[in-house]
Every structure is written in C-alpha cells, then in structure tokens.
Amino acid sequence: MDLAALTIFRAVVRENGVTRAAAKLNRVQSNVTTRIKQLEEQLGTELFIRDGRRLVLTPAGETLLPYAERLLALADEACHAVREDRPSGRLRLGTMESVAATRLPGLLAQYHQQWPAVALELEIGTTGKLIERVREFEVDAALIATPFDPAAIGELFETVPVFREELVMLTPRGHRPIREARDIALSTLIAFEPGCAYRVYIEKWYLEHGVRPARVLELGSYHAIVACVAAGAGVAVAPRSVLDLLTDTSNIAVHELPAIGMIDTLLVWRRGHFSSALNALRRTLMASPEATADADAAASVDANAA
C-alpha cells in the first residue's frame, strides 16, 4: 500500500468519482481506475460500490479513509520537516471575518515577504464551519474564537492562543446603558449565521438573564452589521478591534460586556498535521505586536484578579 495509491483513493472520495479525481490529479481515468483496483486487490476487499453514476464507500472504504488521511498528512509533515529551514508548498488557512479584517493584513504581508515559496490560501468562515474544515482536512489550520463549549475542540486538534478580543455590544446612539439583557431596548439581534462563536456567547448571555431576542437578523459582514445597528434595526456584538476599522461611529454606542469578558482567538490544526509552513505562520502570529500586547493585557487582568 503506497502513498500514491492512497492519494488516488482520497481524491476519488473527495471528488465524488473517478472522472473528477483524474482531472484533479492530472491523470487519465483508466490509470485512476487501475490503481484503485490494485489497492482493493492488495487489501483483499472492495473499497467502493457503484450506485447509479455515483461511487459510494463500502464499510472497508470508510474504515480506510481516516487512516489514509493520517498517513498522507504524516508523509507531508515528514517532507516539510527535512526542509524545515525553508517553508514551501501550499498552506490553506481558515479565519473568521473579524480576524481577516483587523489582525491579518500586515501579518500575512510579512509572512509572504519572509516565505515567498509558500502559496497561502485564505478562507473566511464562522468558528463552527472552520473547525469542520480543519477536521475534514479541507484547510490546514484556522483562526477561531474559543468555543463556548470546550468539547467542540477535542483531542483531534492542537491549539495555541494568538490574540485576545474584547466582545462589546453595539446599539444605536442614545441607547440607555446596558448592564444586563433586560436593558436592551431593541428586540432584534444582528449577527452572523449559526456557527459564529461570538453569537453563541451573546445568546447564552441573553438566556442567563431570562431573555430571548425576538428575532435574529443574519448578515455576512461586520460593515453590514454595524450599518444596520446605526440605522436602528437592532443590536449586535463584535470584537472591539473591529471598531478601529470604521470611519464613522457617530451613530452607534459601544457597551462593555464584563460578564463575557475577553475571548481568545486560537490557531487550531489537526494533531499530527503540522508543516514547516504552518510552524512559520505560528511563529509570525506569536511574535506580532498584537499578540504581545494581548498577552500583556491578559497578564494584567489575571494579576488584578488575583
């Protein structure tokens, strides 16, 4: 069972068939079919069954897939390890929209200048979606908010905190001070789709005070969310760092949420799936002024609490 055969097997699964897998791997279809048959003969079992025009994994194929993913990831890690001093290849990074807008532009420019041989691909998503993308090997790592439920990140992942965000509530200008959920005068919560960790934190905060938003208006960017808040459509939550990007905040008010406090942004990747390119990115993030300032602020908060 060689790595090339496992690569072809994984491609057939991911691409949902031989034709697309062959195109993805730049091979002829007959070669892909032959290698799959050879792998099945070697293992002594069928890996796929045909259902009409679709190929469906057999139970044996379902069992093999996670092993194939782990073996290929380990092989990739080994290749990177022997040239650790010069990161190269492709690095697929998932990130929340807020981090992409506020924290990453300068850091990614620095990373690209230092490691031009790395092809960095960026994907935006909610924390929930990004965890799944890492789980399924569809991105190599992701920058996510610490989930409200720690079980969302199990033993399958490794993490390191890189930033710390203060979550604040945004309301139209002139709204009364907010100390608890009952102080909120508007019944609409403006937020990202389910899967957003910040949305989970604020909805749990509502519930702790025995309150539910009458409706949730789901939008896909903080600029749109803030514009709706300024227009009086509802209230929203956002990292305070997002406010620094706004050119006009005259029509919104910012309310602290001490009950929620600070939320760490984590760099997360699958255990055993760690390349020199990802290691270089981790070092870049950890050495950034934002990370240093956040660590100092966290230490100050912890010391005051003590």
For domain 165-262, give its CATH number from 3.60.20.10, 3.40.50.620, 3.30.110.30, 3.40.190.10: 3.40.190.10
70 compared with 54, residue with greater pLDDT = 70
What value does the mean pLDDT take over residues 212-236? 93
What pTM, to 2 d.p., does this model score?
0.72
Average pLDDT in the chain = 88
Every domain range in the chain assigned CATH 3.40.190.10: 89-163+263-296, 165-262
In the structure, what pLDDT confidence band is assigned to residue 275 with cuts at 50, 70 and 90?
confident
Say if residue 303's pLDDT is above 80: no
Considering the domain delimited by 89-163+263-296, tell me its CATH architecture. 3-Layer(aba) Sandwich (3.40)
Beta strands in the chain (DSSP E): 48-51, 54-57, 89-95, 118-124, 141-145, 157-172, 188-191, 215-218, 235-239, 252-256, 262-270
Q: Which of 10-14, 79-83, 236-240, 285-289 has the highest mean pLDDT?
A: 236-240
Q: What one-character-per-residue DSSP string does 75-141 give?
A: HHHHHHHTTTTS--EEEEEEE-HHHHHHTHHHHHHHHHHH-TTEEEEEEE--HHHHHHHHHTTSSSE
Say if residue 289's pLDDT is above 80: no
pLDDT at site 80: 64
56 compared with 302, residue with greater pLDDT = 56
In the structure, what pLDDT confidence band is assigned to residue 248 with cuts at 50, 70 and 90?
confident
In the structure, what pLDDT confidence band is assigned to residue 76 with cuts at 50, 70 and 90?
confident
Every domain range in the chain assigned CATH 1.10.10.10: 3-81
Q: Which of 52, 32, 95 is nearest to 285 (CA)?
A: 95
Contact 162, 265 (CB under 8 A): yes
Q: For residue range 10-25, list pLDDT tens digits in order.
A: 999 988 888 888 898 8
CATH 3.40.50.300 fits 3-81, yes or no: no
15 compared with 144, residue with greater pLDDT = 144
DSSP helix/strand/coil, 189: strand
